[in-house]
Structure 1
Amino acid sequence: MVLPYNGVRTMHEWIDRASQYTHNEKRFVDEIVAANESVIDVEMALTAWGERTSALRMDFVTLTHKSCEARITCWEAKLLSDARLVSETEPKVLRQIQSYKDFLNVQTHREHVKTAYCETCKLLVQFKGMAERCGHPGVVLPEAVTRAAKGTSDLTIHPGLHLVILNDSANGERANWSTHEAKLKQHGIDPIYFEVSDAHQRRLPENIA
């Protein structure tokens, strides 16, 4: 069964329906996407491999132009209130991030990811052309996207994975957070923080994304 598509009205219906299933972490990611033109994908699914029977998903992916290459960087987003960030032993988020790194440490996986995002960039260029033909000339694509689409920049993958955290604590800070943060830093993860009150200030650091 194919439902009718009635332009903008149908689009708003989809948005209203989707909003019933969203939560604060996904809204946080939406705000990051809106503020950063370098974001080229959300909910990046990693093919099930090894002992895994289901696909892991990274929250979002950025593409930036660095020297003569276009660099893919993967990101995980969390709320400060998320129980997976804290533990008396090892926070679950560390195992989650390590699973992502293990996947990308496999050469064939990296090649598949680079091929997929090269195609993504080509599609974005096509979509830009479609928008212009429909009377919307103001679409601007980042240099990294256009270079990757043309094949004039080599695609590389950032070896690490970055963690962004939205501070949603009622009193401004989670109890004993410095102790939990230290565990993350011991494993090479230096979180980037955003405040709930700054919903329109979600720019990622320029030196990363």
Structure 2
Amino acid sequence: MGKIEIRNLCFRYGKQMVLNNLNLDIPENALYGYLGNNGSGKTTTIQVLLGLARPVKGEVLYDGQPFRDQREKQLRKIGLCPGEPFYYDNLTGYEHLAYLDHIYHCGRTAINKVLAITGIENARNKKLRHYSTGMIHRLGMAMALLHDPDILFLDEPLNGLDPEGIHSIRELLLQLHQEGKTVFLSSHLLDEVEKTCTHVGI
């Protein structure tokens, strides 16, 4: 039994079938790379896994149980770093996390921890207009990790990064894997997924 199971999933936009009988098994503590070209339905798959889009057919299971029966419970255990997140250029990295903490009530210690884990502790008081693309990606991951989720969904986390940025994210992903988290990341970069992930699906 996988941590997350997708069974015969179908999803369409209008008349276009984007996902057609998709089946995936994501084991617990996997660093799972979900490969596909741009526009192939990777983001849609993540949306369905989070209950943000409703499939026309199929089922999603978490820990062997239908997601629809435990949505609220499972969402508390999930962190998401979307492919096109929205940030405020005039706020600092710390302020973004502090704002999110109004929802999670994790406290300052948790904020400091994710800043350290993601390697942006020294940039905590910089406004986002001064962040590099790699730092923006790491802030997104810090926000996704703030409430210490068991499962992390990352939509194209390596997109737009230079080699140094890719290496930094790769090291962070391996650290999260060692901590026992289940990570599901979408990407179109086959070479990087092969270097980083323990499991691959297409």
User: Same fold by TM (over 0.5)?
Assistant: no
Q: Which structure: larger Rg?
A: 1
TM-score (norm 2): 0.29
Greater relative CO, 1 or 2 (CA 8 Å, sep 6+): 2
**Superposition TM-score, scaled by structure 1 size:** 0.28
